Chain A
Amino acid sequence: EIVLTQSPGTLSLSPGERATLSCRASQSVSSSYLAWYQQKPGQAPRLLIYGASSRATGIPDRFSGSGSGTDFTLTISRLEPEDFAVYYCQQYGSSAWTFGQGTKVEIK
């Protein structure tokens, strides 16, 4: 099973700042099968990015994804108040989906 490790565990930033979230895989992952989700308390996850860098429908362009192989990044260019949440990366490989443990972006 491919293990995804997200860092940092918690990111404390102010609105307007740039957020950079990392997702590292234990072995190479196909970019086609790397996605990012946002989850707010009491809500289901919401798809942000698929195929490592494609924004899902309705996702603002301040969200961007990049990376390949074992290292992937989600960047939020300028944090808005509604962006403070937990973010998960996800990959498909060896007939199974796995998620990272999540990065919490909190207000500083």
Chain B
Amino acid sequence: QVQLVQSGAEVKKPGASVKVSCKASGYTFTSYGISWVRQAPGQGLEWMGWISAYNGNTNYAQKLQGRVTMTTDTSTSTAYMELRSLRSDDTAVYYCARDVFGATSYFDYWGQGTLVTVSS
């Protein structure tokens, strides 16, 4: 069965960086993309960006350009999201999701979420 398992919760100070991992199993990793979505406490969903697991192409949300980097390691079927220069408003649960992109597109499987807390 398809599973996306994310790394554990993180506490970071303002200005630091965080790197969240998302290990995929149960499907051919390079046949899909991975999108990252975050959710601040009590708020809605915010798309952060996408990476192709096939060729590493990326597309980041304009708001996060310059602060976010998404990568994959096809040898371990793992996707990574690094966010730099953290601020308090980056405190959120971060999700990875399998991105089915083609004639129709959607996120059909999600990781369990990783809570990132930014606090001095």
Contact = CB atoms under 8 A, between A and B. Distances in A.
Interface in B74-114: 95, 97, 101, 103-108, 110-113
A96 B108 contact: no
Nearest to B99: A97
B46 interface: yes
A14 to B, nearest CB: 25
A100 B47 CA distance: 11
Interface in A39-58: 39, 44-47, 50-51, 54, 56-57
B59 A95 contact: yes
Interface residues of A, number: 26
A74 interface: no
A57 B111 CA distance: 17
Interface in A20-74: 32-33, 35, 37, 39, 44-47, 50-51, 54, 56-57
Contacts, number: 63
B104 A44 contact: no
Given A44-B95, A44-B111, A44-B113, A98 B106 contact: no
Task: Name the residue among A1, A46, A47, A98 with the largest chain B CB count within 10 angstroms.
Answer: A47
Interface of A: 1, 32-33, 35, 37, 39, 44-47, 50-51, 54, 56-57, 88, 90, 92, 95-102
The list of the 8 closest CB pairs from A to B, nearest first, reads A50-B106, A44-B110, A97-B47, A35-B106, A99-B45, A51-B104, A32-B104, A101-B44
6 contacts: A32-B103, A35-B107, A45-B95, A50-B108, A90-B107, A97-B50
